[in-house]
Amino acid sequence: MFTNRMFNILVPVISVLLGLIVGAIIMAAFGYNPLSGYQALWDGSFGDIYYFGETVRQVTPYIFTGLAVAFAFRSGLFNIGAEGQVIVGWLAAVWVGAAFDAPMIIHLPLALLAAALAGAIWGFIPGLLKAKLGVHEVIITIMMNYIALHVSNGLIRSVLSENQDSSDPIKESASLASNWLMEMTSFSRLHYGILIALFAAVIMWFLLEKTSAGFELRSVGFNQHASQYAGMNVGKNIILAMVISGAFAGLGGAMEGLGTFGYMPTHSAFTNLGFDGIAVALLGGNNAFGVVLAALLFGTLKIGALNMPTAADVPSELVEIVIALIIFFVASSYIIRWVLLRFKKEGK
Amino acid sequence: MLDILQSIIPPAMFFSAPLIFTALGGVFSERSGVVNIGLEGLMVMGAFVGVVFNLTFADVFGAATPWISILAAMVVSAVFSLIHAVASVTFRADQVVSGVAINFLALGLGVFLTKQWYDKGQTDMVSQPFYTLDIPVLGDIPVLGPLFFQNMYLTSYLAIILAIIAWYILYKTPFGLRLRSVGEHPMAADTNGINVYAMRYVAVMISGAMGGLGGSVFALTIALNFSQSTIVGQGFMSLAAVIFGKWHPLGAMGAALFFGFAQSLSVISSSIPLLEDVPQIYLLIAPYVLTILALAGFIGRAEAPKANGEPYIKGSR
């Protein structure tokens, strides 16, 4: 009755439910009504068409960062650096978007390409160090995050603007924003990026499942030594996985730069898009379709949370706690499986 | 020259202390085979508890408040780290993922409770932080006195003393031998009658206590209040120090001292002639770039404890 496939669906669903239940207990413990809390959350993400537009907008970069982390995971790598890759991608997209003049058909793809390239470079360095020197990618990607943050702030102040705290706005021809989508969602910041994000998910699925390069990447993820023995170039695959992963995250940054904001502000702290991408990937079971669903959930939680303090007086950080609990339960999937099997035995 | 050193060494020590504490905790956890990416979250928890305790009990304990605050932070963070222990030891969770959850959870809980109790996103400034002081006799020694014994925080010395104690415990006591053997070859350790699970629980709780100590010392010497952005990356720096220091307490201390020095560079650069003209951005990224360079080349291949990251399943081969 319980096949592996069913576990892969049941574990995240149960994790989400458990996370929400514990969140409700915390709300109740602090004297809030959990029902009105979650009602506010729901209203804040799907309550009307404006909120719906904002939710989908928030989902867009999450799909990309989720794909980025999931792609690396499938090759046995842990990309904590999606955060930095988002930042450099955002920077590169805005830079190209503001500095060049070209018709949209050239300008927009060019800006997207620049973002992907910047992210790819930011993934290449830890990939190279891992493949050639065996340096753990987790540490290097953490360091690369800080370097991205400080360097991009420095570049925004010195190159992309004249000592301002944000870059110049991008040209119309590089923008993903769409009047049509905005009007339809009563002027949310919804933009065309969601289509690119869904397309990227299809690309990832195809690349991993249907190509021989994808087979190599996955088999390196399963067992490096066996892959080596089978004649695969493990080092090359590690670098490739990090480069593609970085490119996905970089595009996530482009969604913010070309779609939502149209410029890049200096950041005093991380955007958290990349870190949340880790959670999205885990919950999505590291596959493309799952990532899209998980991104939808996280976008909903994040945007809905903004409505919680006003509508139900619950601090929006409650949602951060719920997200943390969900990750915790996904990580502990062994115990969930164990309990499920117990139940199954007793049912007989 | 003495002036320059005098403006470098005390701030470097002061920035290093929280990193040393936390990194020592990381060494214990990883030596027992449990990867601890949650150090950042443990520091957040420590900073939160340290500040809240300090604000609440400043009137009761007076000048002793900061010391009792860091003790409270150690206890609470040790208990909090049990979540990571349960997940990674008993529930066989992916330890990296569980650590990520710890980071999210600590920050979410900290800010949630801050809003709950103080009705705003950050706490007030603490009234009883740690103060710098001159050590009575040692401070009068020429040359060395001004460098190492004036304008210092006692917590900086505590960090170095604890590093030596940690080295002694890990390498000179039976407990340390058991802890390390559990991280290298849990099955062999189990066969020899060592309780792998218990050792790992203890090690993770030590890392919780030390992370809480590091976070609270950071909060009570540097940040002085708690908010979303009190601890930003110091835990990750400590984790880097663990690896940089080759999973050895004294190595981790050296690495943390180096990071503390690099972090203080951007603060003290204005008073050092050589660094005055260097753009701020280079000083800001220096610790991270130097870490990458060091990991990539200068320190040679570091061997992690063999069973690091592997859940131990009794009876499996």
What would the mean pLDDT of A264-278 be, rounded to a whole number?
88
Answer whether B314 touches A (CB < 8 Å): no
In whole angstroms, give the CA distance from residue A30 to residue B114.
Answer: 13
A109's enclosing H/E stretch is helix A104-133
Question: How many Å separate Cα B115 from the centre of its chain?
Answer: 26
Q: Report which listed range, A110-119, A161-170, B112-121, is most confident.
A: A110-119
Helix axes A104-133, A137-155, angle to 10 degrees: 140
Residues 267-286 of B with CB under 8 A from A: 279-281, 284-285
Closest CA to B312 of B89, B138, B86: B89
* Other beta carbons less than 10 A from residue B298's beta carbon: 9
Closest CA to A141 of B17, B295, B150: B295
Tokens of B289: 């770039």
What would the mean pLDDT of B100-106 be, rounded to a whole number?
91
- What local confidence, expressed as pLDDT, does residue A333 receive? 81
In whole angstroms, give the CA distance from residue A93 to residue A91.
Answer: 6
In Å, what is the CA distance from A228 to each residue of A133, A196, B128?
A: 16, 35, 59
Please answer whether residues B40 and B233 qualify as being in contact, where contact means their C-beta atoms are separated by less than 8 angstroms: yes
Record: contact A154-B98, CB cut-off 8 A: no
Answer whether B109 touches A (CB < 8 Å): yes
In whole angstroms, give the CA distance from residue A143 to residue A317.
Answer: 27
Helix (H/G/I), strand (E/B), else coil: A130? helix
- Give B134's pLDDT tier (boundaries 50, 70, 90): confident
- Give B95's pLDDT tier (boundaries 50, 70, 90): confident
Nearest CA in chain B to A268: B229
What mean pLDDT, rounded, does chain B reach? Answer: 87
In whole angstroms, give the CA distance from residue A69 to residue A73.
Answer: 6
Asked whether the predicted pLDDT for residue B274 surpasses 90, the reply is no
In whole angstroms, give the CA distance from residue B32 to residue B44.
Answer: 23
In Å, what is the CA distance from A279 to each residue of A298, A299, B63?
A: 9, 12, 43
Answer whether B45 touches A (CB < 8 Å): no
What size, in residues, is chain A?
348
Distance from the Cα of B109 to chain A's closest Cα (Å) equals 6
Question: How many Å separate Cα B144 from the centre of its chain?
Answer: 27
Q: ∠ CA A35-A39-A44 to the nearest 5 degrees?
A: 150
Asked whether the predicted pLDDT for residue A134 surpasses 70, the reply is yes
Tokens of A252: 């996530």
Question: How many Å separate Cα B151 from the centre of its chain?
Answer: 22
Least confident span in A242-246, A271-275, B287-291 = B287-291
Which residues neighbour A310 within 8 Å (Cβ) at sequence distance 6 or greater?
Answer: A40
Question: How many Å separate Cα B20 from the centre of its chain?
Answer: 5
Record: contact A151-B279, CB cut-off 8 A: no
- Give B42's pLDDT tier (boundaries 50, 70, 90): very high
Nearest beta carbon to residue B281 from set A142, A150, A324: A150
Nearest beta carbon to residue A331 from set B97, B229, B236: B97
Q: Indicate the residue type of A197.
A: A
Considering just the CA atoms, what is the radius of gyration of chain B in Å? Answer: 20
What mean pLDDT, rounded, does chain A reach? Answer: 90
Tokens of B41: 């979250």
Please answer whether residues A3 and A9 qualify as being in contact, where contact means their C-beta atoms are separated by less than 8 angstroms: no
Asked whether the predicted pLDDT for residue B282 surpasses 90, the reply is no
Record: contact A150-B87, CB cut-off 8 A: no
Question: How many Å separate Cα A81 from the centre of its chain?
Answer: 11
Which residue do the tokens 């400590």 mark?
A: B238
Question: How many Å separate Cα B108 from the centre of its chain?
Answer: 20
- Give B171's pLDDT tier (boundaries 50, 70, 90): very high
Nearest CA in chain A to B236: A142
Q: Could you tell me which residue, B76 or A4, shows the higher pLDDT?
A: B76
Record: contact B93-A30, CB cut-off 8 A: no
Instruction: Write down the ipTM of this complex.
Output: 0.86
Instruction: Give percent above pLDDT 90 in chain B.
Output: 45
Q: Could you tell me which residue, B153 or A87, shows the higher pLDDT?
A: A87
What would the mean pLDDT of A158-179 be, rounded to a whole number?
86
Answer whether B112 touches A (CB < 8 Å): yes
Q: What is the 3-state secondary structure (H, E, C) of chain B?
A: CHHHHHHHHHHHHHHHHHHHHHHHHHHHHHHCCCCCCCHHHHHHHHHHHHHHHHHHHHHHHHHHHHHHHHHHHHHHHHHHHHHHHHHHHHCCCCHHHHHHHHHHHHHHHHHHHHHHHHCCCCCCCCCCCCCCECCCCHHHCCCHHHHHCCCECHHHHHHHHHHHHHHHHHHHCHHHHHHHHHHHCHHHHHHCCCCHHHHHHHHHHHHHHHHHHHHHHHHHHHHCCCCCCCCCCHHHHHHHHHHHCCCCHHHHHHHHHHHHHHHHHHHHHHHCHHHCCCCHHHHHHHHHHHHHHHHHHHCCCCCCCCCCCCCCCCCCC
Nearest CA in chain A to B112: A317
Asked whether the predicted pLDDT for residue A291 surpasses 60, the reply is yes
Distance from the Cα of B71 to chain A's closest Cα (Å) equals 25
Least confident span in A109-123, A138-152, A330-344, B113-127 = A330-344
Record: contact B288-A154, CB cut-off 8 A: no
- Give B258's pLDDT tier (boundaries 50, 70, 90): confident
Mutation to test the B interface, candidates A14, A146, A313, most B Cβ within 10 Å = A146
Answer whether B295 touches A (CB < 8 Å): yes
What would the mean pLDDT of B170-190 be, rounded to a whole number?
93
- Give A156-214 as a DSSP string: IIIIISSS-SBPPPPPGGG--B-HHHHHHTTS---BTHHHHHHHHHHHHHHHHHHSHHH
Please answer whether residues B130 and B220 qualify as being in contact, where contact means their C-beta atoms are separated by less than 8 angstroms: yes
Asked whether the predicted pLDDT for residue B279 surpasses 70, the reply is yes
- Give A297's pLDDT tier (boundaries 50, 70, 90): very high
In Å, what is the CA distance from A38 to each residue of A54, A283, B112?
A: 18, 20, 16
- What local confidence, expressed as pLDDT, does residue A90 receive? 96
Which residues neighbour A109 within 8 Å (Cβ) at sequence distance 6 or greater?
Answer: none
Asked whether the predicted pLDDT for residue B152 surpasses 90, the reply is no
- What local confidence, expressed as pLDDT, does residue B177 receive? 95
Q: Which residues pair with residue A177 across a beta bridge?
A: A191
Please answer whether residues A329 and A19 qualify as being in contact, where contact means their C-beta atoms are separated by less than 8 angstroms: yes
- What local confidence, expressed as pLDDT, does residue B298 receive? 59
